[in-house]
Amino acid sequence: MGSPTSARLATSLCGIALRNPVIAASGTFAYAVEFASLVDLSQVGGIVVKGLSREPMDGNKPPRIWEAEGGMINAIGLQNIGVQAFVSEKLPAIREMKTPVFANVFGYAVEDYEEVVRVLDGEEGLAGYELNVSCPNTKHGGIFFSNDPVLLAGVVSRVRALTRRPVIVKLSPNVAKIEPLAKVAEEAGADAISLVNTFVSLAVDARARRPRIGNNFGGLSGPAIKPIALRLVHEAARAVKIPVIGLGGIANGEDAAEFLVVGASAVEVGTATFWDPQAPVRIAAELDSFCRAEKIGNASELTGTLRLN
């Protein structure tokens, strides 16, 4: 197997040097520090911590996870300790890491995003932000930021004005067309976009005639969504000039290569870490092996090389 720190994998994202283009996705790698005994974090390309809100959140009622065919459905409900506790309890250890760490930020009003970023921007130790815009704006009748170009532009531009750190916008796949929203994020000041987030799904117990998730609906992730995610990443990458980070069902190095080929500059690995906590490191090593076998000098040479029939 190859090496996750091979020169073939070295790249940069929004001006930030990454030892490899494989990043641990938000919501699947806790606050990074919890994985220190399971994974050599110095070999991970980057880490996005679980979503942070203004105040602590308990999340949804259980059951919150259901193993589906080819993946999993979750309705965790963005449970987190809140931005202030993150700064005091988690950030000191993150500052000691040699791996770039990004804070995932979410809210239910633009002011929520602004306050979280305002708190974090006064602290050292973070490489940038990833905005989770797959949330309903409670000030506008529950319209999702990710589905409305005006709301999306508003939250991205307001956060952009608060920080010099890179701002990544994580787009939802639960839209009719991804290209217009990718362009809106770019025009509003995003340094990169990441996609896809999970697909709204329903698992049913036919005998009980009830949903298998306590919150009724959840988000589908894992290998089952990869073909759709590849299509959406390809469409978004053709629509914008900023980097695209691809995610959705990546379980091995060749999966990662596929996302690069369709236009991604980096990838995020999420659901795979539930059965293999070392998945980001393993996938990077497998990507290195793929590049060596294909006689590719650097993985970045794969980006955007898809040849449509």
- Over residues 100-151, the pLDDT tens digits come to 999 999 999 999 999 999 999 999 999 999 999 998 877 877 789 999 999 9
pLDDT digits (tens, 9 = 90+) for 279-295: 999 999 999 999 999 99
pLDDT digits (tens, 9 = 90+) for 245-275: 999 999 999 999 999 999 999 999 999 999 9
pLDDT given at position 139: 80
Do the domain assignments include residue 309? no
Do the domain assignments include residue 5? no
For residue 208, give the CATH number of its domain.
3.20.20.70
pTM: 0.96
pLDDT given at position 141: 76
Do the domain assignments include residue 3? no
Q: Which residues contact 55 (CB under 8 A, 6 or more apart)?
A: 82
CA angle 296, 299, 303 (to 5 degrees): 105
For this structure, is 135 an active site residue? yes
From the list 33, 135, 159, 230, the catalytic residue is 135
Number of domains into which the chain is organized:
1
Contacts of the segment 157-162: beta carbons below 8 A, 24+ positions apart = 157/188, 157/189, 158/110, 158/113, 158/114, 159/105, 159/113, 159/114, 159/117, 159/129, 159/131, 160/188, 160/189, 160/190, 161/189, 162/114, 162/117, 162/118, 162/121
Average pLDDT score over residue span 67-88: 95
CB distance 74 to 217 below 8 Å: no
Residues in the chain: 309
Model confidence band, residue 203 (pLDDT cutoffs 50, 70, 90): very high
Domain with 158, as residue range(s), is 11-302
